A = this chain, B = another copy of it.
Amino acid sequence: MDKALEGIVVLDLGQIYNGPYCSLMLAYQGAKVIKVESLEGENLRVRRIGDCHELLMLNSNKLGVSLNLKSEKGKSIFTDLVKKADIIVENFALGTMEKLGLGYEELKKINPGLIYATGKGYGLDGPYAERPAMDLTIQAMGGVMATTGFPDKPPVKAGPAIADFLGGIHLFGGITTALYQREKTGKGQLVEVSMHDTVYPILASALGAFYNTNGKVPERTGNQHSGMATSPYNVYRTEDGYIAIICVVNRQWESLVKVMGREELLEDSRFKTNVDRSAHIEVVDEIISSWTKGLKKLDIAEKLIKANVPHAPVSSIPEVADDPHLKYRQMIREVEHPNAGKIRVPGSPIRLSDSPLDHVFAAPLLGQHTDQVLTEFLQMSKKDLTKLREENVIR
């Protein structure tokens, strides 16, 4: 069975997380992704000696080409590749590709079918467009930090690089939409995603609380409900960690009360409905904490599974790295890497029944497929390649 993006050629200039995650999803759907790096390698390679795990996680199923885009010969090889490509993915700082003479306006002249996808911190235009942007600064500017953490403590970033990844996956969605449109029009186009834009809709709960209550709820509520309007809804300390528990309907509260052996609470008018419980959040949380603190998180989880009460243990990173469900679903896969040996890389969160991810291979070494790609796409000879290598055009 052909995969969804079989036959599609991607030139991936992505670095760190945003662009590489986007093109990882393209590769996982069957596109031929050529990761084009400078002679030194992309930022993640430079940042840490050796093969850092972040790079290995996000570059499976790609071919690696190392090409000096600052040299005239390197540019010319790149534009020759552009003629044979369907998609370019890049998330350089604003203006980088234009300075190289490789901006969309130039490239579309040589390939009108090209889909040029650009991931930026603040987008291509607007008052902040020129500012340097990283995941941390976008989380600060975009309201993610204001809404994360405890109300009496400083704002804190979301641990994962959510701005980078939201940027990358929106870019993927834009590219596949443009591919579909190209089937109708025969034309490529520019696809643009600003990380700062992507973190705005995800503030739904906070913006909802702000507009619904005229700003009367705190910006951040720790692990409690953003609108302080659901109870129980919190993370509770256990003997060996933490557990999240929520009751969205009364039946779940009743089950929880029974599991805790506190049936007398069913008669208490403070806890009859969610509205009642939300008016007594501190009391509800205290009752639950006093029960969880003497038990182990997985023992509590087992009881709550049986009682059908929504919950989850707060998993540590070693627990996530070994999660049996993620393994079952092949979200954790083991591949062999020439230097790093057996490593664990993610599978695809996007599952298409007619485009299964059957084969995953490890991220390329820097320039691992330079010769293969230039031979296959541009019919270069061994002599050509040796000369280009001597001239510091390829690696």
Q: For A2, what are the chain B residues with a Cβ–Cβ distance below 8 Å? A: 184-185
Q: For A223, what are the chain B residues with a Cβ–Cβ distance below 8 Å? A: 136, 145, 154, 156-157
Of the candidate stretches A315-323, A376-384, A387-395, the one touching chain B is: A315-323
Q: For A145, what are the chain B residues with a Cβ–Cβ distance below 8 Å? A: 159, 223, 235, 242, 244, 314
**In-complex Cβ contact of A161 among B153, B193, B205 (8 A):** B205
Q: Say yes or no: A204-B326 contact (C-beta < 8 A), given A153-B150, A310-B132, A320-B142.
A: no
0 or 1 for each of A322-351: is its CB under 8 Å from B? (1 = yes): 011110110110000000000110110111
Smallest beta-carbon distance A33→chain B, Å: 14
Task: Tell me the count of chain A residues lying within 8 A, CB to CB, of chain B.
Answer: 136
> Is the C-beta of A57 less than 8 angstroms from some C-beta in chain B?
yes
Query: Quick check: B207 and A57 within 8 Å, CB to CB?
Result: yes
Q: Say yes or no: A148-B148 contact (C-beta < 8 A), given A159-B220, A346-B201, A349-B194.
A: yes
Q: For A128, what are the chain B residues with a Cβ–Cβ distance below 8 Å? A: 325
Q: For A179, what are the chain B residues with a Cβ–Cβ distance below 8 Å? A: 176, 180
Q: For A222, what are the chain B residues with a Cβ–Cβ distance below 8 Å? A: 156-157
> Is the C-beta of A285 less than 8 angstroms from some C-beta in chain B?
no
* 30 cross-chain CB contacts under 8 A: A4-B178, A5-B180, A17-B204, A57-B204, A122-B325, A139-B244, A140-B235, A144-B158, A154-B235, A154-B237, A155-B235, A157-B222, A157-B235, A158-B160, A160-B162, A160-B205, A165-B201, A166-B169, A166-B349, A169-B170, A170-B350, A171-B350, A189-B352, A191-B352, A192-B353, A193-B349, A206-B317, A207-B317, A211-B321, A211-B343
> Is the C-beta of A261 less than 8 angstroms from some C-beta in chain B?
no
Query: Quick check: B177 and A350 within 8 Å, CB to CB?
Result: yes
Q: Say yes or no: A313-B173 contact (C-beta < 8 A), given A57-B207, A203-B320.
A: no
Smallest beta-carbon distance A221→chain B, Å: 8
Query: Quick check: A204 and B54 within 8 Å, CB to CB?
Result: yes
> Is the C-beta of A354 less than 8 angstroms from some C-beta in chain B?
yes
> Is the C-beta of A133 less than 8 angstroms from some C-beta in chain B?
yes
**In-complex Cβ contact of A354 among B58, B185, B196 (8 A):** B185
Query: Quick check: A156 and B148 within 8 Å, CB to CB?
Result: yes
Q: Say yes or no: A190-B349 contact (C-beta < 8 A), given A143-B317, A201-B165, A212-B52.
A: no
> Is the C-beta of A11 less than 8 angstroms from some C-beta in chain B?
no
Smallest beta-carbon distance A339→chain B, Å: 13
Task: Rank and list the top 7 A-B pairs by shortest CB-CB distance, nearest first.
Answer: A147-B159, A158-B158, A137-B312, A143-B320, A140-B244, A197-B349, A54-B208
Query: Quick check: A210 and B317 within 8 Å, CB to CB?
Result: yes
| Complex: chain B residue closest to A183, CB-CB | B183
Query: Quick check: B126 and A328 within 8 Å, CB to CB?
Result: yes
Known: A141-B312, A191-B352. 12 other contacts (CB 8 A): A5-B177, A125-B328, A126-B325, A136-B312, A138-B312, A140-B314, A146-B159, A160-B202, A180-B180, A183-B183, A200-B349, A207-B317
